[in-house]
Structure formats: C-alpha cells, structure tokens
Amino acid sequence: MYLCANYNDINMSSKVRVRFAPSPTGPLHIGGVRTALYNYLFAKKHGGDFLLRIEDTDQTRFVQGAEKYIVEALAWCGISPDEGIGGEDRGNGPYRQSERKPMYREYAEQLLAADKAYIAFDTAEELDAMRQMAKDAGASNWQYNYITRGNMKNSLTLPKEEVDAKIAAGEPYVVRIKLPRDHEVRLEDTIRGWVSVNTNNMDDKVLFKADGMPTYHLANIVDDHLMGITHVIRGEEWLPSAPLHVMLYEAFGWECPTFAHLPLLLKPDGPGKLSKRDGDRLGFPVFPIDWKNDETGETASGYREFGFFPGAFINMLALLGWNPGTEQEVFDLQGLVDAFDLSKVSKSGAKFDFEKGKWFNQLYLRDLSEVELAQELKNVLDNEGLSYNEAHLGTIATMMSERATFPKDLLEEGRFLFETPSVYDEKTRNKKWSDASAPMMQDIAHRFNALPDFTSEAIEASFKGYLAEKELGFGKVGPSFRLAVTGRGMGPSMFTICAVLGKDEVLARISKAIKVLG
C-alpha cells in the first residue's frame, strides 16, 4: 500500500509554500481565480509564500496573451504572488515550465534507471487500434497498464538492443510510469478525507512526450518538489490525477505535499459546472476582467469592466465553497486572511449567485468616502465625454449612491444633472402639469433670478416663501417644478439639485420646460 497521509502538522512546522499553477490556454475562469484566492489566503494565514507558476508544457493549447491576462487579473484582485511570475525570483526559477524544459528529461531518466518508468514506441494509430479492439470485445475502458503493457511496443517487451536501435534511429517514443500491480494508493485530502484507488484501475500515464516535453503530471510533481511546495490546493477536476501523483512522489522517493481539492462552482440554475455559456445566457461575466484573443477575435466580458470593485468580487468568490463558521459575510482581503480555514471548505459544489455578488458591490460602493465616490463618478463622466463642475461631484455622487450598485449607476441615476432633459416623464406630466404650472414656474424663476447666493438653503427659503405668499401646498408646485428641472417624477432633494445645477442652468431648464410642456 502507498500512503499519502495529510501531514498537516509536520508540514506546518516548515514554512507553508503554495502555488497557483494555471495553464495559459485562455482567460482565467472565476473558478481559477477562487483557487488562486484560497491558495493566497492559506499562505498569508500561515505566514507562508504564494507562488505563481505557468504550466505551459502543452504547446497545442497555448494561447497568446493568456499569461498576461492571468497576471493582470490576479493583480486587479490584489492577489500578489510572493514568488514566481509577477513575484520575485527566489532562486527556484524559471517559473514558466517551457523555460524549464531541459530539466525534466533528467527526472524521466531517473525513473527509467530505477525501473519506475519505461519507454514506449506505440504510435497513435496503434493505440487507437488497441482501444478499438478492446471496445469490440466489450471493454470500453482500455488502459495501458500492468496487463496490456506486456503486448505493446515498449522497453519491457522489446530486447534492449532493439530499443537502443530505435532510439538511435530517431524513432519517436514516450516515457510511461510503470505502476506496480495491485497496490492500494491512499491519500488523505484535507477537504475530501481519504481517497483510495487500486493501481489495477490506473493507467501507466505518459510522463514524457515524443516532442521532448514533459506531460503535466511529470512537470507538476517535479516542480512542486523543487519549489518546496507544502500544500497543493487546486480544483476538484484534478482529484482523479492525485493517486498518480502520489505514485510519482513514491517513485522519486519524495515526500508528498498535503492535498486539498476544492469543490466546483456550479450553475446558478441547474446541475453542472458554471460555464461561459451560462454567463452569456444569464447575463453575467464568468471571467475576472475583459478578454480578447487577438488571433481568433474571441472576446469575453469581465467583472472589472462590469463595474465590480475587486474587494466585492473577492468577497463574493471567497464565500463560494467556504464559510467562516459565523454569520459574518463582509470581509476585506485581510479579514479573509484572518478568518480563512481550509477545513471549512465544503466538499459539495457551490452554486454561483450573481445577485449576491451585486449585493456585495452595493455594500462596497456605499462604504466609499465622498472623495472616492466623486472619483468613481468622474471616471464614468470622462468615459462618456460629459462635462461637469468638479466642485459638485462629491455631493452628486453621495446623493446618487443610495440607489447605485455600480459606479455607472451614479451617472444613470443622476444623468439629468449632466444633461438638460429632452423628454419629460409622461405620468407626472399628465397628473401634475396643469395650465397653472407655467405661470407658477415663471414666478419661481423670477424669484430665483433675484437670489444673490444660489445655495440650497437660499433656494429652499425662496421656494417656500413663494408657497407661503401664494398660499399653495407643496404638492401643487413641487412635482411640476421637479418635472420642469429634471424631466422626472421622483428623485433627491430639488434644492440640492438646483444648487448643483447652478442658477443659469435652472432658469434655462425652466424656460425650456415652459416651451415644451406649455
């Protein structure tokens, strides 16, 4: 039996070192961001190191720009690697597997010399033929294993001279792991508990390919070992590979890291993994930032460009699959570090909930200071090329933040402050605008014009003075006044709005309204 127990206590006595090891095959899915986040939180919680390594051994799946995207997305989230790509080189580099290429062969040789691996010459066609034969005989799951390898073209079946001759002649070959027969491989996963597989049900996986590159399995284990990784925290889709990895550690005679396989992110409205298609169908992004593949033109939208604050995005992600064991839901990054505990990560998949993400964003938005809100609004206005008086942005943004979830809402809710109304709310117009309205607006404009200081207090006093003088209730004048100045039926205090707009603009809007509404 091969055991890979959860050496938590042992490993914790040495410095915790974890890694996020994405393959640059496209934009990073939010599930990947969550994996990076949990690694980061775990490292920081235990005073350890978080590494970023790029696993680009599969040249056929390499996508230009994907690595840059990963680095930028993590930086936006505030998840900064201590070491590796985007972090320091602490003598364990290079941190891109393609640049480590020459090193892997040596490890494959080491396993060959120890009889833990063998060379195989079977071509893709020959392997397909074997699979087909097995299928025809009723066995759908053909494996290259301790039984079948005896009938294949490899260094276990061919005489040594023939193997050497083939290699000398440049015939392509791969290196496969030589799994022993009928051994129980048991590994203790921090999240899932004990996982057990018999080697009879495992494949002699390829470790080293004919193109001179290692496979993911070999490169991953060699690098985790050389980089001193103590805990491997990764997505559930890698759990089936974990027994093979345990066998590789065993074959090299290296100590296993502690494994933790994270639950999947599930669709919000049904079974299965959350995919890009779900996002497109339901109208939300499944990537952290916008993506564009320059070669294919393929694009995908991201949380950043949607208007999410990184803090809100991270807060939402952290709670998908982990809970602090308390009622607390709102955490900043440091708060997450303090509260994070791998043993509180759930085994079952986490249903994605975009509405909850919006709720977090709203909280984060409302928590901004007036200066920060003003800056958010300024960015939106600049983007749209709208002009504004900088002095009022803080007041406007604060006023609008009550109704906003995203920075863009600060403008949407208050667009009437930056654009003279061209349409007037139909309902208010029918109910509140009467023949008496135009003369009333004239009077108000007249009074406003005489105000030396156009402050909200002065405007309020003037407006109320007018009501008192004419013995009019607020309901008789207020709604039509709002309609004339903003085009709307509802909104924040009209006195603040008028002060923000300034006298000239208010007077101009009133006279325009009189013309349009009659």
**What residue ranges bind ligand GLU (CB under 6 A)?**
21-23, 55, 216, 220, 234, 238
Q: Which of 283, 289, 317, 316 is nearest to 302 (CA)?
A: 289
* Shortest CB 54 distance to ligand GLU, Å: 9
Q: Whose Cβ is closer to ligand GLU: residue 242's or residue 333's?
A: 242
What is d(CA 125, CA 517) in angstroms, rounded to the nearest whole number?
80
Q: Whose Cβ is closer to ligand GLU: residue 190's or residue 220's?
A: 220
Q: Whose Cβ is closer to ligand GLU: residue 224's or residue 409's?
A: 224
Catalytic residue among 273, 276, 356, 512: 276
Q: b/e map of 471-494 (b: 16 or more CB within 10 Å)?
A: eeeeebbebbbbbbbbbbbebbeb
Q: What are phi and psi of 68, to 5 degrees?
A: -60, -40
* Shortest CB 22 distance to ligand GLU, Å: 5
DSSP assigned state of 256 = P
Q: Whose Cβ is closer to ligand GLU: residue 238's or residue 354's?
A: 238
* Shortest CB 157 distance to ligand GLU, Å: 32
DSSP assigned state of 213 = P
What is d(CA 186, CA 70) in angstroms, rounded to the nearest whole number?
34
Q: Which helix (H) or strand (E) holds 300?
A: strand 299-300
Q: Whose Cβ is closer to ligand GLU: residue 31's or residue 421's?
A: 31
Cis peptide upstream of residue 102 (ω within 30 degrees of 0)? no
Q: Whose Cβ is closer to ligand GLU: residue 219's or residue 374's?
A: 219
- Structure tokens of 157? 């079946």
* Shortest CB 413 distance to ligand GLU, Å: 41
Cβ contact 407:365 at 8 Å? yes
Q: Whose Cβ is closer to ligand GLU: residue 22's or residue 421's?
A: 22
Cβ contact 186:150 at 8 Å? no
What is d(CA 515, CA 374) in angstroms, rounded to the nearest whole number?
34
Cα–Cα distances in angstroms (integers) from residue 418 to residues 27, 391, 426, 455, in the given order: 37, 14, 21, 18
Q: Whose Cβ is closer to ligand GLU: residue 206's or residue 438's?
A: 206
Q: How many CB atoms lie within 10 A of CB 293?
A: 16
**Is 276 one of the catalytic residues?**
yes
Per 3-state DSSP, the chain is made up of helix, strand and coil in percentages (nearest 5) of: 50, 10, 35
- Helices within 319-455 (DSSP H only): 333-339, 354-366, 370-384, 393-401, 407-412, 426-432, 437-449
Q: How many CB atoms lie within 10 A of CB 296?
A: 10
* Shortest CB 23 distance to ligand GLU, Å: 4
Beta-strand relationship, 231-235 and 184-189: unpaired
Cα torsion angle, 410, 413, 418, 419, sign: positive
* Shortest CB 96 distance to ligand GLU, Å: 12
Q: Which helix (H) or strand (E) holds 117?
A: strand 117-120
* Shortest CB 242 distance to ligand GLU, Å: 9
DSSP letter for each residue of 468-481: HHHT--HHHHHHHH
Q: Whose Cβ is closer to ligand GLU: residue 220's or residue 480's?
A: 220
* Shortest CB 19 distance to ligand GLU, Å: 7
- Structure tokens of 73? 């997305």
* Shortest CB 232 distance to ligand GLU, Å: 6
Rg, C-alpha atoms of the chain: 33
State the catalytic residues. 276
